[in-house]
């Protein structure tokens, strides 16, 4: 499973036709303490680059954009119940949704680890 990133600071772990999505460590750090997470409904369709979820912190509410198009197959209810998990473990237990990909070639538009690190250096 390879990790990819977006310019909007979402991460994606692709495993075949399924993708797990969350926000990066950088994003959670910029947001501060996450206090609320609004997730889509299983069965919803998402489109790459469009809003898929909302993460609210003590500082601001931030849209989470779908890095890839597809159907929501799972949502992480644990982050709804305990939003601080997004801060504590953004790449593990703090994942937000799982998506069954409808256009796997969209992965080619995402950043790899090296490109994402370069993006962070330039910010």
Q: Is residue 8 part of a domain?
A: yes
Strand stretches in the chain, DSSP E: 2-5, 10-15, 18-23, 34-38, 45-46, 51-57, 61-65, 70-75, 97-101
Average pLDDT along the chain: 96
CATH number for the domain that contains residue 39: 2.40.50.100
Give the separation between CA 22 and CA 89, rounded to whole angstroms.
10
Q: Is residue 15 part of a domain?
A: yes
For residues 88-105, average pLDDT: 97
Question: If DSSP codes are grouped into helix, strand and coil, which group holds residue 107?
Answer: helix
Domain limits for position 55? 2-116
Q: Is residue 123 part of a domain?
A: no
Reported pTM: 0.95
pLDDT at 103: 95
Give the separation between CA 65 and CA 74, rounded to whole angstroms.
16
For residues 98-122, average pLDDT: 96
Looking at the chain, how many residues does it have? 123
- Tens of pLDDT along 65-83? 999 999 999 999 999 999 9
Q: Is residue 121 part of a domain?
A: no
Q: Is residue 122 part of a domain?
A: no
Number of domains in the chain: 1
């Amino acid at each position: 499973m390879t990790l990819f990133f977006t310019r909007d600071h979402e991460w994606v772990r692709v495993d075949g036709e399924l993708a797990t999505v969350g926000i990066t460590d950088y994003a959670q750090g910029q947001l501060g303490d996450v206090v609320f997470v609004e997730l889509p409904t299983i069965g919803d369709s998402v489109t790459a680059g469009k809003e898929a979820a909302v993460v609210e912190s003590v500082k601001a509410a931030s849209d989470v954009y779908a890095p890839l198009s597809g159907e929501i197959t799972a949502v992480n209810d644990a982050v709804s119940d305990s939003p601080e998990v997004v801060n504590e473990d953004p790449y593990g237990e703090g994942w937000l949704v799982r998506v069954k990909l409808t256009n796997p070639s969209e992965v080619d538009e995402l950043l790899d680890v090296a490109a994402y690190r370069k993006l962070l250096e330039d910010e």
